[in-house]
A and B are shown apart, each in its own frame.
Chain A
Amino acid sequence: MIVALIVMAVLVLVGAAVLVRRRRRAVPMLAPVAREAMPEVLVAEVAQRPVLVDETQFLESRLGSSRSIFDRVRTISSIGSLSQDQLDTVEEVLLRSDVGVATTAAILDDLRENGAPDGVAAAVRDALLASLGADRSVTTTAEPGRVPVWLFVGVNGVGKTTTIGKLAQRHVSEGRSVVLAAGDTFRAAASEQLQQWADRTGADIVRAAEGADPGSVVHDALGRAAARGADIVLADTAGRRANSTNLLDELSKIRRVADRDPGQVVETFMVLDATTGQNALSQAREFLAAASVTGIVLTKLDGTARGGIVVAIERELAIPVKFVGVGEGVGDLIVFDPKAFVDSLLDA
């Protein structure tokens, strides 16, 4: 029971502060607070705004900058051992794409040891592709008599609900009947958001009031899916930080409920925002432990972020990326292609 210790620590701290203060001045600790007169500031001082950047230039400069980095690697035609400068350039390219310090170091070690017989660019590409070798197939069927469930987990704001909408569309267009379980009962209006996706895609949806037990929503969705003979259930969950045991325990519970007859969890996707940096690795580790994640959906890859951290995740935890989100439209979700991904990682 660490609690007593902590409470005690706070007490010691606050107690000491209070005592000292009392000793110093005998006035009540919280005297009525007089509101400070807010300085009036005229807005005329606000700086001149810049002219809106011309977008073609904007894009070109962006592509230009990232290309030039890689060009520096590409033009290195050394065979055999690489110089420190060349290694530094490779390091910069990798670090800037969020691949991470550990993975970068491993690839650099590899380059140092084996050189680059086919040029540096090819060597880096091969090294990255070698890290992305996992099986990427998705399961859409369960044991006979059970309803397959895809469960979606992730931190807040990565695009879980949107991803479910897009995947619902994919299933519907492949001829499956879909039931959505609005398991995010925490965030305000999350189930309205999913409802709109259901309306758009023609999927069935099970909702509950805000604050309801997410497990029960999933349970009800399974009941409805079984009763109507639906082909698949897509279950949403509330975004949660990955460093809270309680929130992770809740997630484990939702997964257990979803995996109970008549349901069977056949895929658990961790939805990951491509802009996420090194924290994604700890997210993956925690969600893997709590909910047996089977795949990653990498979202918002249409922006400027490259999502290189998935390389580290696949290397360390063997969780493969299966889908990629590339826009806000219902069709903007594609199957992950390692080659194209590595090219975009290195090529901008």
Chain B
Amino acid sequence: MFDALSERFERLGSSLRSRGRLSDADLDEALQEVRSALLEADVELGVVRAFLDAVRERLSGEALNQSLSPGQQVIKAVHEQLVEVLGGSPLKVTYASRPPTVVLLAGLQGAGKTTAAAKLALWFKQQGRQPYLIAADLQRPAAVEQLRVLAGQIGVDVFSEPSDPVDVARKGLAEATRLGRDVVIIDTAGRLSIDEALMREVRDISDATSPHYTFLVIDAVTGQDAVFTARSFHETLELSGIIVTKLDYDARGGAVLSARGVVGRPVVFASTGEKLADFDLFHPDRMASRILGMGDVMTLIEQAERTMDASVVAESAGRMMSGTFTLDDFMAQLNQVRKMGSLGGLMKLMPGVTKEMRNAASNVDDGELNKIEAIIRSMTPRERGEPSVIDGSRRTRIARGSGTTVNAVNQLLKQFAEMRKMMKQMSGGGMPNLPGGMGRMAGLAARASAQRSEQLPPGFEALGAGMSAGGPVARGGGGKNKKKKGGRVTPPKQR
């Protein structure tokens, strides 16, 4: 997400970091870079201007901070402004006291409304609600069918009939009330903001159902038009928020900034993949950190908690520290990590990861992971526990057994050996020299986790989405985190 933008800021960051003082000319040059980065990321021109003015204001108004270099101060100002534009903490979805809570989705053709409707239904279901879908897109061929299929996959009912969209919405709502469903999601046809008849129709649907939430579904790769679209839908429907789709597209995601900047309504949900589960609340502060290449450890940890089997992880983490990590543990861990989602996606959440690693990771597919699993499964228990016994003939056997090459087996063993070495170093007390700033990352994770466990009562994490705004990672000044020395980690001070 926001890849290009983060890279530019990364580059900008490093050139500024190398300077001791920041002159007016330096500031102009830095802001010019920020401008190009934002424009190339499709942020609307007016929004860009306002953004730059605000950053300049921040820098001139603020007393010079002695502990930060001038370059870090620019980055900090950009970060703070990003957080402000993106809108602080995520919106809290509340439910109507008299159910059902009605959610209306609108947007241009092809923005992803139908998929978003199903994903949203799944999200509500995961929140313990009983969602109900109304397919009021009678325009596009097979749109209703598409929603039915998707809803079938998540076990949610769909209401539709071939009449008039407004009637469908009204009857669907009545049906939902009769069935006692507490959340109703209305999918509407894609429409152009200048199509008066269709805009009137969606307004009629809205009048007939009085939605509690009206979301504009917008494609993250939208260009300068995002502003116009957002504004005209807002004028017609009084939006309560924005759902961004296709954020996994290298999307520099400028549309998010534009729409948000113009309409002043928060981005509530973001869709980040083709699977129905690739959908969650949008965390502006984390996104701002991600834009600036600071990674997003909080999301990573949350994802881990949601999907990983705690006992398995803890057990092998313990063995990791004692230096008796085996290939069996490795495989168990690998499977846990796979449950968390694509490796490419995970890499994006990690701070201090280079672009090359990120790219390499996004190209690792299930096939390759399966291959690794096959290699390990082709080993005897003894070989898995004591990889040093694997000699030439064993390697040949393993390669044949797993349908791979000796070369692949060698590589895996070599990497595993290196991995073990690093772990031993780590358990020895100091963070080892990990490539790509991973040592730093581990320190960050420790700090993030430490802070969270202080802030939140036990067992609260699953609810904690959004409660951890302004965690240590999101705090200004990317890249200034030094490698931690010593195993003991001190939690950062509270805000």
Contacts and interface: CB of A to CB of B under 8 A. Distances in A.
Co-complex (A, B): yes
Interface of A: 1-22, 24-25, 27-36, 38-43, 46-47, 49-50, 52-53, 55, 58-59, 62, 92, 95-98, 100-101, 155-159, 162, 186-190, 192-193, 195-197, 210, 241-246, 273-280, 282, 300, 302-306, 308-309, 328
B235 A97 contact: no
Contact of B45 (A41, A95, A282): A95
A232 to B, nearest CB: 21
A25 B100 CA distance: 40
B251 interface: yes
Contacts of B143: 189, 193
Most chain B CB neighbours (cut-off 10 Å) among A101, A245, A304: A304
A15 B320 contact: yes
Interface stretch (B54-62, B193-201, B279-287, B391-399): B193-201
Interface string B195-216: 0100110010000001010000
B246 A98 contact: no
B150 A188 contact: yes
Nearest to A49: B238
A33 B40 contact: no
A83 B219 CA distance: 37
A10 B445 contact: no
Contact of A156 (B112, B237, B454): B112
Nearest to B487: A19
A17 B304 contact: yes
Interface residues of B, number: 121
B297 interface: yes
Contacts of A300: 108-110, 192
A270 to B, nearest CB: 14
A29 B310 contact: yes
Interface string B130-150: 000000000111110111111
Interface string B418-445: 0100100010000000111010011101
Classify the secondary structure of B's interface with A: helix
Given A12-B438, A303-B192, A158 B415 contact: no
Contact of B221 (A30, A47, A155, A196): A155
A276 B253 CA distance: 11
A252 to B, nearest CB: 15
B361 interface: yes
Contacts of A159: 109-110
A275 B219 contact: yes
Interface stretch (B83-91, B168-176, B363-371): B363-371
Given A49-B238, A189-B142, A189-B145, A6 B458 contact: no
Contacts of B362: 243-245
18 contacts: A2-B360, A3-B372, A4-B412, A9-B353, A14-B308, A14-B337, A16-B446, A24-B454, A33-B459, A43-B96, A155-B249, A189-B143, A210-B149, A241-B250, A244-B362, A246-B365, A300-B109, A303-B225
